[in-house]
Structure 1
């Protein structure tokens, strides 16, 4: 596995551990439907929380949350719609971003709740 892929996988694992420590129930990690993917789908307080995880070694060029572009948001919204339909989810939905910056599993973690709302036009 390429080093950047391993860093991302490790970041997702640490993000899931972080969420669990904060009382979230993890429903899925790396859920896929076709080409669509959701990094983490969790549940807490009658809310389905879709979490985009961004892991970087440092902030030199771009803060991790800045990599969540409008195109990425639209893809997350479409994947979330598929998830909701597949599992008939009756909960409120929230979109969060968790950023992890660091190396060798020594990460600074930031949890951005309600990081974005679905755009009015997702097509």
Structure 2
């Protein structure tokens, strides 16, 4: 009787840990910081910096995915991954408006992650 209750409690804790697990552990996995830096680079049309920060953003996101994969909805994870993929293409094309749309969408999905 005690083991099933402990297992249920364990799974509930995992499912509710999304907001805690998405917080950065260091600069290497700070998704929101990289989104903000990339946004500033795109606004100033510094495409080289935008490309560099998009790579950092992608690396940080891959680290965070491993932590949150069991505690958040898969569609939210996929949406952010798709935003980053589109962002890479927008920056390669030097399309300011498209890049800003993807950054804004990624930030909105990030804020909804774990709710």
Shorter-chain TM range is: 0.3 to 0.5
With structure 1 as the length reference, what TM-score do the two structures score? Answer: 0.33
Greater relative CO (CA pairs within 8 A, separation 6+): 2
Structure with the bigger percentage of helix: 2
Structure with the bigger percentage of strand: 1
Considering only CA atoms, is the larger Rg found in Structure 1 or Structure 2?
A: 2
With structure 2 as the length reference, what TM-score do the two structures score? Answer: 0.35
